[in-house]
Amino acid sequence: MARQSPPRNGVGGHDFDAKKKRKVAEIYQALNSDPIDVAALRRMAISEGGLLTDEIRCKVWPKLLSVNTDDLPPLPGKELREDNKDYQQVLLDVRRSLRRFPPGMPDDQREGLQEELIDIILHVLKRNPQLHYYQGYHDIVVTFLLVVGDRLATALVEKLSTHHLRDFMDPTMDNTKHILNYLMPIIDQVNPEVHDFMQSAEVGTIFALSWLITWFGHVLSDFRHVVRLYDFFLACHPLMPIYFAAVIVLHRQREVLECECDMASVHHLLSQIPQDLPYESLISKAGDLFVQFPPSELAKEAAQQQAERTAASTFKDFELASVQQRPDTVLRQRFRERLRGEERLRGEERTKSILTKPRTNRFVKLAVMGLTVALGAAALAVVKSALEWAPKFELQIFP
């Protein structure tokens, strides 16, 4: 069944419109603060509905990635295509990306955007030779291109590629596999029966590879759902996509357990992602699970990699950005004390208590949990994580 839109008429519609207007006002208030209130913007991006419109995303996404829109690089030129080792593969992938463009878009407009897409990808790779192109990268880049345009997309994608996506762009897939290895421990914490069934089927985690490395852009047909997830992921820790993958599997637990317990059957089921998922509910649950079972608690169960090589473990790189924001030390102290107690709880009752906490508390946490959620560190909560996980840049970036 298609996802229904909120009611527009009567009391329900009035309440929805009033709530949306209130959220828009809060977003612009955060944007107009001096300094910009990035913590509030992260809360807005995480909370129900995300950032609401592409116009707002054009303003907020750069702040979430600490990109100075007053100093954007010039548009990449066609000369990048000459003697470029990745050009042919990028060209093939972009040509196959027809379904990523809006239905009904004129061919000449789409073809123009595809040319821009190629140039953005080659530009980022040229400026960052340590990065290696992977199939699926274009699915992420095209999302930014369609939302913010080519010049801003170039800057945002470069920042994203050197931070959130860095592990996927290594010469090998070792770090990508390591991130995938967090999937089963998360599932095990919530539903051991599903975990054990999948282990018995020997299905592994490869079914979730395209979800992870494209931020679900390759597997979701409705662009609205894709950008809603990008709002969420940009505001959170770089491992949040694997938590979202886990809640999709857990959401389908009945289907999984009713499936034949063999690799082919379970892989086929899970690789066919439903298009009518309850996205807001799953986003909420993914955030809750991140707070409840942060990467630091799952690291021992995931395949071990050298900590300094993964983006998740270099979360403190965003610290310089958060220094400029407005940390509420009282709230942080309260959450720190509360989470210390919560981290000692285990079992089903803990799961229920976390998943039913008031939304406001969860969003404050999701907007505060970042630097301290590195592998091996105790988790504070999700906003602190995202706030403080930012690339190093000049303090003058938000004049």
Q: What is the pLDDT of residues 107-135, one digit of tens each?
A: 999 999 999 999 999 999 999 999 999 99
> Do 33 and 163 sit in the same domain of this protein?
yes
The domain that contains 89 carries what CATH number? 1.10.8.1310
Domain-embedded: residue 140: yes
Are 183 and 137 found together in one domain? no
**pLDDT at 210 (0 to 100):** 94
198 lies in the same domain as 279: yes
Q: Say what the pLDDT of residue 380 is.
A: 37
Residues 256 and 225 in one domain: yes
Whether 188 and 297 map to the same domain: the answer is yes
Residue 364 lies in a domain: no
Per-residue pLDDT band for 83 (boundaries 50, 70, 90) equals confident
Write the CATH number for 259. 1.10.472.80
Both 202 and 260 in one domain: the answer is: yes
The verdict on 296 and 157 lying in the same domain is: no
Please say which residue of 137, 169, 201 terminates a domain: 169
Q: Tell me, what's the pLDDT at 268?
A: 95
What SS3 class is residue 368? Answer: strand
Decide if 365 is inside a domain.
no
pTM, to two decimals: 0.76
Does residue 115 lie in a domain region? Answer: yes
Specify the 3-state DSSP secondary structure of 304: coil
Point out the least confidently predicted range of 47-61, 72-86, 226-240, 357-371.
Answer: 357-371
Could you tell me if 123 and 189 lie in one domain?
A: no
- For the chain, state the CA radius of gyration: 21
For the cut 50, the answer to whether the pLDDT of residue 358 exceeds it is no
| Domains in the chain, number | 2
**What is the reported pLDDT for 329?**
39
pLDDT tens for each residue of 152-179: 999 999 999 999 999 999 999 999 999 9
Angle of helix 38-46 relative to helix 10-32, nearest 10 degrees, comes to 150
Does 343 have pLDDT greater than 50? no
In the listed set 103, 137, 169, which residue is the last one of a domain according to the structure? 169
Residues 175, 310 contacting (CB under 8 angstroms): yes
Q: Does residue 69 sit in the same domain as residue 130?
A: yes
Average of pLDDT values for 267-278? Answer: 93
pLDDT at position 364, please? 52
CA separation (Å) from 22 to 16, 28, 44, 248? 10, 10, 11, 30
- Domain assignment present for residue 102? The answer is yes
The single-letter DSSP state of residue 119 is: H
What range does the domain containing 214 cover?
A: 172-304
Q: Which of 39-48, 209-218, 301-310, 327-336 has the lowest mean pLDDT?
A: 327-336
Of 126, 114, 125, nearest to 150 by C-alpha is 114
Domain boundary among 263, 280, 304: 304
Q: Which of 99-108, 183-192, 219-228, 362-371 has the lowest mean pLDDT?
A: 362-371
Question: Is there a domain that residue 138 lies in?
Answer: yes
Report CA torsion sign: 9, 15, 19, 24: positive
Q: Are residues 269 and 240 both part of a single domain?
A: yes
pLDDT at 394 (0 to 100): 31
Q: Is 362 inside a domain boundary?
A: no
Q: What number is the average pLDDT over the span 85-105?
A: 91
Does the structure show a pLDDT above 70 at 1?
A: no
Q: Position 126: which residue type? A: K
Model pLDDT, residue 43? 95
In a domain, 386, yes or no: no
pLDDT at 362 (0 to 100): 53
Averaged pLDDT of the chain: 79
Instruction: Tell me the percentage of the chain whose pLDDT exceeds 90.
Output: 62
pLDDT at 74: 80
Q: How far apart are CA 388 and CA 155, in angstroms?
A: 20
Let me know whether 162 and 179 are in one domain: no
Question: For residue 224, what are the contacts with CB-CB under 8 A and spacing of at least 6?
Answer: none
* 186 in the same domain as 163: no
